Structure 1
Amino acid sequence: MSWEEAPSSYNPHMLTKLPWSRLNACRQRSQSGQENPMNSALKIKSGAWQCEVAPALGGCLAGLWFDGKPVLRSPGAQALTSARQSGCYVLVPFSNRLSQAVLQWQGTSHPLVKNNGTEAHAIHGIGWQRSWAVLDQDESSVLMSHEHRREPGWPFAYDASQTIQLRPEGLSMTLSITNQDDKAAPVGLGWHPFFVKQPGMQLRFSARHRWEMGEDKLPTRALPHAGLHAPVDTLDMDHCFDGWSGEAELSWPAGQWSISSSLRHLVVFTRPDRDDVAVEPVSHVNNALNLLAQHKGLEPEDLGVRVLAPGESMSAHWSLQRRV
């Protein structure tokens, strides 16, 4: 299965519970100011799971709880001023850093926006910095959209939609992007969940390579690497792994979180002084778009980059379940 493919049972239309014709109608109502409660947090639940969503802050997860205990970093929407303080936010239309906040694409340099304090790079796309329109909601799910038109931050127009779904067995999220530009455009997708560390917690997954990082926080080369099986409390890491199996486990004596995704790259970020560990399913290598410009022998698919024709779409999903 290639990195952009979802399992045969995966059906984003079923997860949103809306046909695309109705989704477009919902989007039109949202644009007209109807059915768009963007200024308040939304709460959904299923079984022992509860989630708080902040549409105005990148459609992020302000909190996720199981049996009343936080699974992800869960400050709650009222405590947030940025999606990057949340429990999880989407990465669209690219993941991680683009060097010097410039996109090099097909011989043209496109200036982006430095969006991480004093850091020189652009990071994590622009979806996390935008308000998302609420298109549909019920007790256990939320459907949102975000539209971008050649504004500062990204030179290609696109539409994106995300679904957050709780079921008794856990959390499921989908993310889709459609190229609305008049030319082919490179895209990437992903999520940035921060899992609360538990005593004795270990992270385990399989991969093929780990990308080594320079002092500028950009990847330098890929080295063979089988993945990880390590305690998270002493882990000091901010690396991208490729050839990821699409499965990961966070286990501790009292339980286990099982992570599954259609994507085939995984970024792990944590330090011993942090209370959380980020385990991020993503579609491509950090700085992949600019690496393509630097290394002429590479093809987009070598680094996980998808190039969409006008009107073409890409979708991905990830899920989280509790194991005993």
Structure 2
Amino acid sequence: MHAPTGNQYPLRLEADGRTVTAVVTQVAAGLRALEVDGVALVETFPESSTPPGAAGIVLVPWPNRVAQGAWQLDGAAQQLDITEPKQGNAIHGLLRNTGYALVLHEPQRVVQAAAVYPQHGYPFLLETEVEHALVDDGLTVTHTIVNRSQTAAPVAVGAHPYLALGDVPIGDLVLMVDASTRFLTDDHQIPVSEEPVAGTDFDLTQGRRVGDVSIDHGFGGVVTTNGRSVQRLEAPDGRRVELWADENFGFVQVFTPTNFQAPGGPRRAVAIEPMTAPANALNSGEGLRWLRPGESWRLSWGIRYVAN
């Protein structure tokens, strides 16, 4: 019997006295599990389930939302399927329910590929590839996108991991987000403005306890040092899990639901979502990458464990 997320690809690496394991899924090239020395770094879910709250999935050719699924291409109206009926938006791209084709599966890495085919609302052909590769402190995810259309195609990339730190209660972790602005949204969670976080409750640069915050916002002005941005969750004992991303990922979405459907029942969780563009980028153009015909785009992010 097939799992709702398709084939499951277990990964394992033993190096420098550490054991790193992960499970990657065929559907949405999702990350279902990641551990370092038995310490879970992401929220997991049963093989018999769909990803709760889009846990671990790849977001292509846009992350987050497109207002009412509508945008303009060279003056012509485009209408995407409405995949968030409650808010009336198109959400999380076009591959979240797609089964990727296996390219390579080795003990320490898996490579999968999927095409975005021309369709109403997005008349472009893209080839996409995702590599999940274990490293001695976690995982590196590399995306490659090639525009096979005859015209330039608008593209943005994101991912939707929920981070964790073993059995430390999520509410006790300290959330740090190194970003200088926050997107304010309307009732449909579409950005209407951007404001500095300094002096507000959304300044997470020095860290805030997860149990004390309620966030579902995009952040801009992500700080990059030596080609990488780093967001983190830190335990009271100093251990931490970090989400890093290369300079292509100039934005991050932070989501702290209290009803995440964990195996033991609904509870608090923290999604830290690297994004190359914010919500509604097909309309605003902010962060949007226009790939020329035949042009390839390669970009990476990852999750790492730092012991004290």
Aligning the two structures, in what range does the TM-score lie when normalised by the shorter sequence? Answer: 0.7 to 0.9
Unpaired stretches in structure 2, ≥5 consecutive residues:
224-228, 260-266
Structure 2 residue 176 is matched with structure 1 residue 204: yes
CA contact (8 A) 2:34 2:138 kept: no
CA pair 280-166 structure 1, distance change in 2 beyond 3 A: same
Indicate the residue corresponding to 1:166 in structure 2. 134
CA pair 305-86 structure 1, distance change in 2 beyond 3 A: closer
RMSD: 1.9
Query: Does 107-116 or 127-136 show the bigger shift?
Result: 107-116
CA contact (8 A) 1:61 1:88 kept: yes
Cα displacement string for residues 136-162 of structure 1 (whole angstroms, at most 9, x for unaligned residues): 011010001001221346321101100
* Candidates 240, 259, 263, aligned match of 2:243: 259
Unpaired stretches in structure 1, ≥5 consecutive residues:
1-37, 292-299
TM-score of the pair, normalised by structure 2: 0.83
Indicate the residue corresponding to 2:209 in structure 1. 231
CA contact (8 A) 2:35 2:138 kept: no
| Letter of the structure 2 residue corresponding to residue 261 of structure 1 | A
CA contact (8 A) 1:165 1:171 kept: yes
CA distance in 2, matches of 1:161, 1:208: 31
CA contact (8 A) 1:203 1:250 kept: yes
Indicate the residue corresponding to 2:276 in structure 1. 283
Indicate the residue corresponding to 2:255 in structure 1. 269
Query: Does 145-154 or 237-246 show the bigger shift?
Result: 145-154
Give the C-alpha shift of residue 272 in structure 1. 4.3
TM-score of the pair, normalised by structure 1: 0.79
CA pair 84-111 structure 1, distance change in 2 beyond 3 A: farther
Indicate the residue corresponding to 1:23 in structure 2. none
Indicate the residue corresponding to 1:244 in structure 2. 222
Structure 2 residue 301 is matched with structure 1 residue 315: no
Query: Does 188-197 or 171-180 show the bigger shift?
Result: 188-197
* Candidates 36, 39, 49, aligned match of 1:80: 49
CA distance in 2, matches of 1:265, 1:79: 32
CA distance in 2, matches of 1:43, 1:215: 40
| Letter of the structure 1 residue corresponding to residue 282 of structure 2 | L
* Candidates 288, 305, 308, aligned match of 1:305: 288
Runs of 4+ with >6 A deviation: none
Give the C-alpha shift of residue 277 in structure 1. 0.4
CA contact (8 A) 2:94 2:116 kept: no
Indicate the residue corresponding to 1:16 in structure 2. none
More strand by share: 2
Cα displacement string for residues 61-92 of structure 1 (whole angstroms, at most 9, x for unaligned residues): 1222233343211113x2223x4556411110
Alignment of 1:1-324 (within 5 A): 39-47=6-14, 48-55=19-26, 57-76=27-46, 78-81=47-50, 83=51, 85=53, 87-152=55-120, 154-196=122-164, 198-199=168-169, 200-226=172-198, 227-228=203-204, 229-245=207-223, 246-254=229-237, 255-262=239-246, 263-273=249-259, 274-291=267-284, 300=285, 303-324=286-307
Tell me how many residue pairs correspond in the alignment: 274
CA contact (8 A) 1:104 1:290 kept: yes
CA distance in 1, matches of 2:143, 2:221: 21
| Letter of the structure 1 residue corresponding to residue 36 of structure 2 | F
Identical amino acids, percent of aligned pairs: 27
CA distance in 2, matches of 1:153, 1:40: 29
CA contact (8 A) 1:258 1:322 kept: yes
